Amino acid sequence: MGEIITNQPPTLSVFPSGWNYQSIGRRVQVCGRHGGAVTLTNGVYRSNGTQTSATYRWKVVALVDAVNPMAHFANLRSDNAGGSMEVDGDHAITVRCSLEKDGEGTRVAGLCDGKPSASLAAGALDVPFEFPIHLVKGQTYWLRVHVSVASAGQFWPLGRVGWAALGEGSTANADQTLSGDPGSGDFWGFGPVAFTGIPTNENPVVWLFNGDSILKGYSASNPNGLPNHGVLAQAAEELGQPWMINSIVGYGLYSDAPENIDYGSPGSVPNMRLRARLARYATHYLQCVGTNDINNGQPVDTLRWRMAQYSRWARGLGLIPCQTTLSVWTAWNAAKKADLVTINTLIRNKTNVGPLTGVIDFADAWETARNSGVIRSGYSSDGVHPEPGAGFDALKTAMKTALATVPRTV
């Protein structure tokens, strides 16, 4: 498991000042379910009301060496209308968890305020469980999460976290590991909203991403997204930059990526509760939403105003605000392409889009030339999303260069 620490202070709900807890790993996928069905109730993002407990096995990769890792849980879910709003969970839930180093078989129980379980009231935002171990960079760990409710007829939150078409999570009391491309089905589960710790050997850039289907890794051949997300998330990981996606993907809480910048904007208080809490575990904020807004006819002035809101929000929480340039769609008419040129020019010049510190120029890597409005050959099959292959790899290389040189101070 790594060295078990015996001289650490007890887990605290409020972390001691000076302890630099940061996101240190990424959720790859749910890799199994133990006991109990996880089907939705009439399309609502919650358990079926028949089962009173279930256990989910998560695969976590440590991206830095760290001590005192923590799994953080919330009792929130997406609303009943397709996940466009963040709402409180339906009932109180009880959570237990354990962590195991791949190949060792020894599980270390997580402790919340020194206890092996915690009750999360509906609406709970950030309940941490601490594991007294050292994590090793690049090592795989298995996080088992047991969630329960008091009686039948009560529910715990569910998010889309796997793909049933591959058999992932479909067999009770069995562990499965994802391989190949996602299928068309969905698997629903419950897991942590963040995985943090104290880096020991470096001071990494830690990203809080907010992005759409391009960030999630959707494409013509991957209609549900890639299990390790799109080019930006993969580029960050290969650089050793931990990341969290706190839109409506990642860590088993939500279902899909927000496709428009209005989702969860700083003026939407219900959608910002968890986002503001997770910001404490990151150093940088990257806004990757906006191309759908152009496609849907959002005025440029409204779009740039929303971007400015996000930048001011991130700066106010102590994050370094960054923004990607937006990508063109093959099917766009001249008017939409002109709007794209306008907004990307504002982003590159950091003009009227908020207090931007860093710009990740996705568009320059995506188009044949700046403002050409033409996607590079082999980069996309549907004219919207990067398609895995040579073009995808070239985009990722460009994104690694951009992320590696992002400013470390405002």
Q: Six-digit token pair at 266? A: 């700083």
Q: Is 202 exposed, middle or buried (0-12, 13-18, 19+ CB in 10 A)?
A: exposed
pLDDT, mean of residues 148-172 = 67
Q: Does residue 120 sit in the same domain as residue 181?
A: yes
Q: Does residue 311 sit in the same domain as residue 374?
A: yes
94: domain CATH number is 2.60.40
Gap between the Cα atoms of 97 and 81, Å rounded: 30
Contact 187, 213 (CB under 8 A): no
State which of 199, 220, 248 marks the end of a domain.
199
Q: Does residue 165 sit in the same domain as residue 213?
A: no
Gap between the Cα atoms of 173 and 389, Å rounded: 36
Q: Does residue 73 sit in the same domain as residue 36?
A: yes
Q: 12 in a domain, yes or no?
A: no
Q: 6 in a domain, yes or no?
A: no
Task: Tell me: pLDDT of 124 over 60.
Answer: yes
Q: 269 in a domain, yes or no?
A: yes
Q: Does residue 147 sit in the same domain as residue 182?
A: yes
Higher-confidence residue of 1 and 114: namely: 114
Gap between the Cα atoms of 343 and 358, Å rounded: 16
Triad 170, 248, 266: Cα angle to 5°: 165
- Amino acid in position 377: S
Q: Does residue 136 sit in the same domain as residue 274?
A: no
Q: Does residue 195 sit in the same domain as residue 250?
A: no
State which of 183, 199, 215 marks the end of a domain.
199
Residue labelled with tokens 């079926």: 48
Closest CA to 71 of 127, 146, 113: 127
Q: Does residue 80 sit in the same domain as residue 161?
A: yes
* Owning domain of residue 136: 22-199
Confidence (pTM): 0.83
Q: How many domains does the chain have?
A: 2
| Chain segment 44-100, per-residue pLDDT in tens | 678 878 888 888 777 777 888 888 888 889 898 877 655 556 788 999 999 999 998
Closest CA to 293 of 250, 346, 329: 329
Task: Tell me: pLDDT of 385 over 70.
Answer: yes
| Chain segment 215-226, per-residue pLDDT in tens | 878 889 887 677
Gap between the Cα atoms of 133 and 24, Å rounded: 14
Report the DSSP beta bridge partners of residue 73: 127
Gap between the Cα atoms of 343 and 326, Å rounded: 8
Which pLDDT does position 175 carry in this prediction? 44
Q: Is 252 left (phi over 0), alpha (psi -120 to 50) or beta?
A: left
Give how far Cα 366 sits from Cα of 139, 260, 325, 330, 369, Å.
Answer: 33, 20, 10, 11, 9
pLDDT, mean of residues 291-302 = 94
Which pLDDT does position 23 carry in this prediction? 66
Q: Does residue 247 sit in the same domain as residue 264?
A: yes
Q: 11 in a domain, yes or no?
A: no
pLDDT, mean of residues 291-314 = 92
Gap between the Cα atoms of 99 and 134, Å rounded: 11
| Chain segment 303-339, per-residue pLDDT in tens | 999 899 889 989 998 899 999 999 999 999 999 999 9
Q: Does residue 212 sit in the same domain as residue 337?
A: yes
Q: 85 in a domain, yes or no?
A: yes
Q: Does residue 242 sit in the same domain as residue 383?
A: yes
Gap between the Cα atoms of 206 and 313, Å rounded: 17
Axis-axis angle for helices 300-316, 334-349 (nearest 10): 30
Q: 16 in a domain, yes or no?
A: no
Q: 410 in a domain, yes or no?
A: no
381: domain CATH number is 3.40.50.1110
Which pLDDT does position 250 carry in this prediction? 33
State which of 135, 167, 199 marks the end of a domain.
199
Q: 3 in a domain, yes or no?
A: no
Selection from 25-29, 58-62, 354-358 with the highest mean pLDDT: 354-358
Q: Does residue 161 sit in the same domain as residue 217?
A: no
| Chain segment 130-145, per-residue pLDDT in tens | 999 898 888 888 888 8
Q: Which residues contact 95 (CB under 8 A, 6 or more apart)?
A: 73, 112, 117, 118, 120, 127, 129, 145, 146, 147
Q: Which residues contact 169 (CB under 8 A, 6 or more apart)?
A: 30, 31, 32, 33, 38, 56, 161, 162, 176, 187, 189
Gap between the Cα atoms of 60 and 362, Å rounded: 28
